[in-house]
Amino acid sequence: MAHKLKSALILIIISFFISSCTKEVPKELLENQTKPKQNVQQQEMPDDSIHRNLRQSTTDSDVKGDSKAEELTKEADEADAKYEKTKSEGDKKTCIQKQLTAANYLMFEANLSPKKKYRPALKRYRRVLELDPGNKEAMENKRQIEEIYEQMGMPIPD
C-alpha cells in the first residue's frame, strides 16, 4: 500500500513539474500543425502587427512607405554614427535608446511587410546587444523574430 502511495505521489510531482515547464502553444499554431505543410508563401499567418502582409514581395531593408519608420531609422542611424565618432557613454546610451525605439516600432507598429520590418528590426536589436549585451528587451524581441523565421521555415537573416 505504501509503495503504491509513494508511486502515485511521485507521478503527481512529475506531472506537475512537466506541466509547469511547458509553454502554452497559441491556437493558430496548433491549427497550422494539423494541416499539411505548405510552401511559405501560401502559409496562413495571423493578421496581427507582426505577421501582417506576409505575402507581399519587398526588398530586404527598405522602410519606405511608413514615414515614422523612416524617421526613427534615420535617427537611430545618426545616433549610431555619432557614437562611433565620439565613443562617449552618453552617446552610447542615446544610440541604444534610438536603436531600440526604431526596432520596436518596426516590429510592433510599422505598417510594412514582414521583410521590410523584421530584417531591419533584427539588425537593430543585434546592434543594441552589441552595445549592451544584457539588454533583456532586445534579447526577447530578437528571439521572437528568430522564432517567427523558424516557424515560417525560413533561414534567419544575418
Question: What pLDDT digit, counting tens, does each position of 47-96 carry?
Answer: 454 444 433 333 334 567 789 999 999 999 999 999 999 999 999 999 99
Give the model's pLDDT for residue 58. Answer: 34
How far is the CA of 133 from the CAs of 47, 51, 98, 139, in angstroms? 32, 27, 16, 8
Residue ranges of domains in the chain: 68-158
Question: What pLDDT digit, counting tens, does each position of 100-141 carry?
Answer: 999 999 999 999 988 789 999 999 999 999 999 999 999 999
Give the model's pLDDT for residue 26. Answer: 59
Burial class (CB in 10 A: 0-12, 13-18, 19+), 21: exposed
User: pLDDT-based confidence at 3, cuts 50/70/90?
Assistant: low
Sign of the torsion formed by the C-alpha atoms of 57, 59, 62 and 64:
negative
